[in-house]
Amino acid sequence: MNKSNEKSIHEMLKNTPSMNDSTDVVHSGSEQQTIKHSTTLTLRNVSNHSLTSPTSVSLEDESAYIKNGSSKLDTFRNWSITTYKCTKQIMLEKLGKSTRTVDLELEAQIDQLKETQKKYLSILRLSRAFTSHFYNCMQTQSLLSETFADLAQKSPELQEEFLRNAETQRILTKNGELLLNALNFFISSINTLCNKTIEDTLLTIRQYELARVEYDAYRVDMEQQRTGGASEPQQKYSNDEVQKKYEKCKDQYEKLRSDIVVKMQFLEENRIKVMHKQLLLFHNAIAAYFAGNANGLEKTLQQFNISLKSPNSVTSSWLEQ
């Protein structure tokens, strides 16, 4: 029995494939299945597909990019040179080593306008302070009226005196509301004149002053170039370029100068008209209030089309209107 078993084992070992053949054979019991590997590669036809690089840039895009970059560099370069020239011109003017273009008549008008704005701002500040104090006085009068009326109910022996004082304070509070509307209208108009109308002209004047400095800077450089003593940044430009820059600055300076003359003329007419109206309003309202002329105060507000609005009133919403 043992010999037959040993024989069958030896026969099975003989039928076992070698290690070299094990990669090509799948063993399942006594059956063997051979797996064939393909040794050929399938080649696809790629001749119909275009090969493009994701980083490739067309010549037009590249030239546009270079042109844009060069324009920015030129702009920065021109700005740097202009800033240098203007700063140098301002320093030389303060040191008294350079001349400046002066229009005596226009400069006098500009100084007068700045002084006028300064005085009007002082009027605006004092008017706001007066209105604030007057409003606090009105609040006190209103509280006094309520207190007198309450004491009139609790003190029968002094009821008539308390009621008389309560009525006086109530009338003063009512008239004070009318005067407060007139004061607010006066403040609003002066504020518009100072901080918008005059400030708009002063903004143009500041632009004019900057254009004057730039014009003088290029004028001095051109004079130095004519005499052969051009500064270092100026040597990089030709005579034609210097002449063009000088003419450009001169045109800008003269344009702003003419704009200022026109603006100041219209501003003067508008200022006289506005101040005439507002000063008349201020005088009539103050005089009528302290004279106890309630009808005159109401007519003054109607004359200037001022809406009668209580300072403690709340504006109704658009749903209620």
CATH number of residue 240's parent domain: 1.20.1270.60
Domain annotation covers residue 8: no
Phi-psi domain of 103 (left: phi exceeds 0; alpha: psi -120 through 50; beta: other): beta
Domain annotation covers residue 198: yes
Report which residue type is found at 53: S
pLDDT of residue 223: 79
- Give the C-alpha separation, 65 to 68, whole Å: 5
Beta bridge partners of residue 28, listed in sequence order = 31
pLDDT of residue 306: 86
What is the DSSP code (8-state) at residue 193? Answer: I
C-alpha gyration radius of the chain:
47
What is the DSSP code (8-state) at residue 194? Answer: I
Question: Sign (positive/negative) of CA torsion 306, 312, 313, 314?
Answer: positive
Q: Report residues of the chain scoring pLDDT below 50.
A: 1-3, 5-6, 19-57, 232-234, 311-321
pLDDT of residue 225: 75
Report which residue type is found at 55: T
Domain annotation covers residue 61: no
Phi, psi of 15 (to 5 degrees): -80, -10
Query: Which structural domain range is residue 207 located in?
Result: 106-136+175-295
Q: How far is CA 321 from CA 55, 147, 181, 312, 317, in A?
A: 65, 35, 22, 19, 7
pLDDT of residue 47: 45
Domain annotation covers residue 206: yes
Q: For the segment 11-70, what is each residue's pLDDT rounded down to a tens digit?
A: 555 555 554 444 444 444 444 444 444 444 444 444 444 444 444 445 555 555 565 666
- pTM for the whole structure: 0.67
Residue holding tokens 């597909």?
49
pLDDT of residue 36: 45
Beta bridge partners of residue 32, listed in sequence order = 27
Residue holding tokens 């500009």?
110
Burial of 169 (0-12, 13-18, 19+ CB in 10 A): buried
Domain annotation covers residue 164: no
Written in H, E and C, the secondary structure of 250-272 is HHHHHHHHHHHHHHHHHHHHHHH
What is the DSSP code (8-state) at residue 49? Answer: S
Which of 142, 197, 203, 198 minimizes the C-alpha distance to 173?
A: 142
Domain annotation covers residue 184: yes
- Contacts by 219-224, CB closer than 8 A, 24 or more apart: 219/101, 219/246, 219/249, 219/250, 220/89, 220/92, 220/98, 220/99, 221/85, 221/246, 222/246
pLDDT of residue 310: 54
pLDDT of residue 116: 95
Decide if 264 contacts 113 (C-beta within 8 A).
yes
Query: Which ranges of the chain would DSSP assign to H, the alpha helix?
Result: 2-15, 59-95, 104-154, 159-192, 199-226, 239-290, 294-303
For residue 152, give the 3-state DSSP assignment: helix
pLDDT of residue 230: 53
Q: How many domains does the chain have?
A: 1
Domain annotation covers residue 271: yes
pLDDT of residue 115: 96
